[in-house]
Chains A and B, each alone.
Chain A
């Protein structure tokens, strides 16, 4: 494709040839344009709208006609309390999720892999995928009743003589609940990719190990785990690009006024700026997280390539 174009460019009369390619493909182009236009409008026009973060937006003048404001809105972001607090909460939640939520599906896949009854394994898998299919509105609705003072969780704790706690309302237990409910929602679904990697391990490796008298532990340690390392590395590096996306849907639906101090993240901060029509500051905060995300993707992709040349996003 590329070399064809280069050859065409080097020859004289390339404009006519271009035209001929267009003519030749005109029906394909008609077919292609409506969908591409939809894509372009909703993906690239908002990127132009980013300019608003550097302007004093006046509705009547539009984005292009409004006067420039330089970096004033960014200065405002870092001078005030709201944004830095949201940034700190975002980083804390992101780190907690890497520590506890990321390994959970790997452990589940390893446990499932040791089950030989396939109907039992499939049943567990089917059940574990279930919460993935519901929105956080529904899950939040379930959790507020379930984790409430008189809810089912406290009733179970009551068996063990533990006092009831309003789990989602107490700021001190909020991060714990964010981690646990995220594991609940994503562990089964997340395990699919690891389980597939385990299913792809050459069974002759195990047969040879068994013939050599390797115990179950040794087989897990020397065959199963090393085979998972590439997938784990790739998944970890790819997730870096979403470092600041710590789960808006989840946190917005679990947050209450009592937990807004610890639960306010970058995405909820931007939303609040939108609702108060503080567009420029909100867009500036949005740029901060988009650019940071893009930089992390570039770094992560570089690291993936270092690790394995054939992997990565580009």
Chain B
């Protein structure tokens, strides 16, 4: 019989230490940003770990939330997320269901078109010209439609629909249900796991997306939160506070304002993270089932 050696106990201890260090290193930049966002400017420069603010203040948040642009940007992000998820689910399900039925004409060819789109794309510039020619610049549809029916989501959904026993669908049809009724009353209710995974994926994707908005949306009133953050924090424009305001202010500085701005965009994800994390891991497994 086999016994644990001293050597292995050392390995186990080291392993635990390494993993704890990794977790700390992953979390610390987030904790640091949260602390800075709640601190006074004088504290920012003090040496030492920043695990919690010594003298917590909401001054930076008050100033950031006072900016006219950020509320608008938050609303725009929320809007594109809600519309984006709704359109994606409806359009993908309606396209995937016919492709899951055996007799559907040209099924093989259509699936090949979807797979090829994963391997090759026209690239940024033809896409931009297309959106411009369609007159979609400065419209939320430029952010919603291009990804609404993507090969990846479609294949996952079609595979799930295909696994629903044929007999259930046939018996509904014998009872006089049409295709739409079958989809909405039978197929979709049986597919809630895959719909939830795709919806969450799409939701996080839309909330985090910024590049398409940067290219297609020029009107600042229609800009999304991620780009507000980008302009304020990375491009360092005086979105948040003018130089004069910064010089006069005692209870916030450009660093604490930036940290607070980042946190405003981070907190919605942090709130749902504990719930969605497990779903996402499940989704990876669904996705790895071969199409």
Task: Indicate if the CB atoms of B123 and A286 lie closer than 8 Å.
Answer: yes
Task: Indicate if the CB atoms of B122 and A50 lie closer than 8 Å.
Answer: yes
Q: B289 an interface residue at 8 Å Cβ cutoff?
A: no
A41-73 residues at the B interface, CB under 8 angstroms: 41-50, 52, 63
Chain B nearest CB from A23 CB (Å) reads 10
Q: Is the interface of B mostly helix, strand, loop or mixed?
A: helix
Q: B55 an interface residue at 8 Å Cβ cutoff?
A: no
Q: A188 an interface residue at 8 Å Cβ cutoff?
A: yes
What is the total number of residues of chain A having a CB less than 8 Å from a CB of chain B?
96
Task: Indicate if the CB atoms of A144 and B179 lie closer than 8 Å.
Answer: no
Specify which chain A residues have a CB less than 8 angstroms from the CB of B237 in the assembled complex.
none
Which of A83-91, A94-102, A169-177, A267-275 is the contact stretch?
Answer: A267-275
Specify which chain A residues have a CB less than 8 angstroms from the CB of B91 in the assembled complex.
34-35, 38
Name the one of B22, B30, B105, B230 contacting A124, with C-beta atoms under 8 angstroms. Answer: B22
Which of A74-82, A109-117, A221-229 is the contact stretch?
Answer: A109-117
Specify which chain B residues have a CB less than 8 angstroms from the CB of A290 in the assembled complex.
120-123
Task: Indicate if the CB atoms of B126 and A47 lie closer than 8 Å.
Answer: yes
Q: B70 an interface residue at 8 Å Cβ cutoff?
A: no
Q: B68 an interface residue at 8 Å Cβ cutoff?
A: no
Task: Indicate if the CB atoms of B26 and A128 lie closer than 8 Å.
Answer: yes
Q: A28-B104, A108-B22 are in contact. Are A286 and B47 (CB under 8 A)?
A: no
Specify which chain A residues have a CB less than 8 angstroms from the CB of B281 in the assembled complex.
129, 192
Give the distance in Å from the alpha carbon of A286 to the alpha carbon of B147 in the complex: 19
Q: A46-B123, A46-B127 are in contact. Are A196 and B95 (CB under 8 A)?
A: no
Task: Indicate if the CB atoms of A213 and B26 lie closer than 8 Å.
Answer: no
Name the one of A31, A131, A270 contacting B124, with C-beta atoms under 8 angstroms. Answer: A270
Name the one of B30, B47, B129, B284 contacting A49, with C-beta atoms under 8 angstroms. Answer: B129
Name the one of A1, A126, A143 contacting B107, with C-beta atoms under 8 angstroms. Answer: A1
B164-208 residues at the A interface, CB under 8 angstroms: 178-180, 183, 204, 208
Q: B117 an interface residue at 8 Å Cβ cutoff?
A: yes
Give the distance in Å from the alpha carbon of A128 to the alpha carbon of B20 in the complex: 10
Task: Indicate if the CB atoms of B126 and A50 lie closer than 8 Å.
Answer: yes
Give the distance in Å from the alpha carbon of A21 to the alpha carbon of B279 in the complex: 39
Q: A141-B262, A142-B29 are in contact. Are A192 and B284 (CB under 8 A)?
A: yes
Q: A165 an interface residue at 8 Å Cβ cutoff?
A: no
Q: A1-B108, A150-B45, A215-B5 are in contact. Are A47 and B122 (CB under 8 A)?
A: yes
Interface centre among B23, B99, B113, B265 (most CB of A within 10 A): B23
Q: Mark A276-302, 1 if CB is under 8 A from B, else 0.
A: 000100110011011001100100000
Q: A39-B149, A145-B259 are in contact. Are A2 and B127 (CB under 8 A)?
A: no
Q: B101 an interface residue at 8 Å Cβ cutoff?
A: yes
Specify which chain A residues have a CB less than 8 angstroms from the CB of B122 in the assembled complex.
45-50, 286, 290
Give the distance in Å from the alpha carbon of A32 to the alpha carbon of B107 in the complex: 11
Give the distance in Å from the alpha carbon of A47 to the alpha carbon of B218 in the complex: 25
Specify which chain A residues have a CB less than 8 angstroms from the CB of B147 in the assembled complex.
42
Residue of B whose beta carbon sits closest to that of A310: B290
Q: A259 an interface residue at 8 Å Cβ cutoff?
A: no
Give the distance in Å from the alpha carbon of A28 to the alpha carbon of B161 in the complex: 14
Give the distance in Å from the alpha carbon of A197 to the alpha carbon of B16 in the complex: 21
Residue of A whose beta carbon sits closest to that of B236: A144
Task: Indicate if the CB atoms of A38 and B145 lie closer than 8 Å.
Answer: yes
Q: B130 an interface residue at 8 Å Cβ cutoff?
A: yes
Task: Indicate if the CB atoms of B149 and A137 lie closer than 8 Å.
Answer: no
Task: Indicate if the CB atoms of A22 and B204 lie closer than 8 Å.
Answer: no
B110-166 residues at the A interface, CB under 8 angstroms: 110, 113-115, 117-130, 134, 145-150, 154
Name the one of A130, A155, A211 contacting B30, with C-beta atoms under 8 angstroms. Answer: A130
Q: B244 an interface residue at 8 Å Cβ cutoff?
A: no
Chain B nearest CB from A155 CB (Å) reads 5
Q: A119 an interface residue at 8 Å Cβ cutoff?
A: no
Question: Using a CB–CB distance below 8 Å, which chain B residues touch chain A?
Answer: 1-2, 4-5, 8, 11-12, 15-16, 18-20, 22-23, 25-30, 32-33, 36, 44-45, 47-50, 91-92, 94-95, 97-99, 101-105, 107-108, 110, 113-115, 117-130, 134, 145-150, 154, 178-180, 183, 204, 208-211, 215, 226-227, 229-230, 233-234, 255, 258-259, 261-262, 265-266, 269, 273-274, 276-277, 280-281, 284-285, 288
12 contacts across the A-B interface (CB closer than 8 A)? A28-B97, A39-B114, A42-B145, A46-B122, A124-B22, A137-B208, A137-B233, A137-B265, A145-B36, A270-B125, A271-B124, A274-B128
Question: Using a CB–CB distance below 8 Å, which chain A residues touch chain B?
Answer: 1-2, 18, 21-22, 24-25, 27-29, 31-32, 34-36, 38-50, 52, 63, 108, 111-112, 114-115, 120, 123-124, 126-131, 133-135, 137-138, 140-146, 150-152, 155-156, 158, 184, 187-188, 192-193, 196, 210-211, 213-216, 241, 248-249, 252-253, 267, 270-271, 273-274, 279, 282-283, 286-287, 289-290, 293-294, 297, 313-314
